[in-house]
């Protein structure tokens, strides 16, 4: 897989990859990652969305990451159980 584009966003890392004439959008946040297959005929429309860092898509993705992070801390990392698992570490 090779990266063909990175999108500017103040919090998230969004990158478009290609491999074997297929496209994948990967979005990363605090060690977590979401991947979305992108049909080639949707690339232009997707570009319009991803070039706007204030687009509702990014808010929904960020909400998903918060849920993923809560699930990770609540269910998969035993040392955090019972220690406010919903709280996030502040990044300065």
Q: Note the pLDDT tens digit of each residue in 11-29.
A: 999 999 999 989 999 999 9
What predicted TM-score, i.e. pTM, was given to this entire model? 0.77
What's the longest Cα–Cα distance across the chain?
Answer: 47
Q: What is the pLDDT of residue 76?
A: 82
Q: What is the pLDDT of residue 77?
A: 79
Q: Note the pLDDT tens digit of each residue in 46-75.
A: 999 999 999 999 999 999 999 999 988 888
Closest CA to 88 of 69, 72, 74: 69
Q: Which two tokens stand for residue 75?
A: 């269910």
Q: What is the pLDDT of residue 44?
A: 92
What's the CA gap between 18 and 84, in Å, rounded? 40
Kindly tell me the sign of the dihedral angle through the C-alpha atoms of 74, 79, 82, 87. Answer: negative
């Amino acid at each position: 897989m090779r990266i063909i584009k990175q999108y500017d966003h103040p919090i998230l890392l969004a990158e478009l990859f290609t491999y074997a004439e297929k496209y994948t959008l990967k979005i990363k946040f605090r060690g977590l990652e979401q991947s979305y297959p992108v049909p080639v005929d949707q690339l232009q429309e997707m570009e319009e969305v991803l070039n706007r860092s204030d687009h509702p898509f990014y808010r929904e993705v960020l909400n998903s990451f918060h849920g993923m992070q809560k699930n990770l801390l609540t269910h998969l990392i035993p040392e955090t159980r019972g220690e406010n698992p919903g709280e996030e570490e502040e990044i300065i």
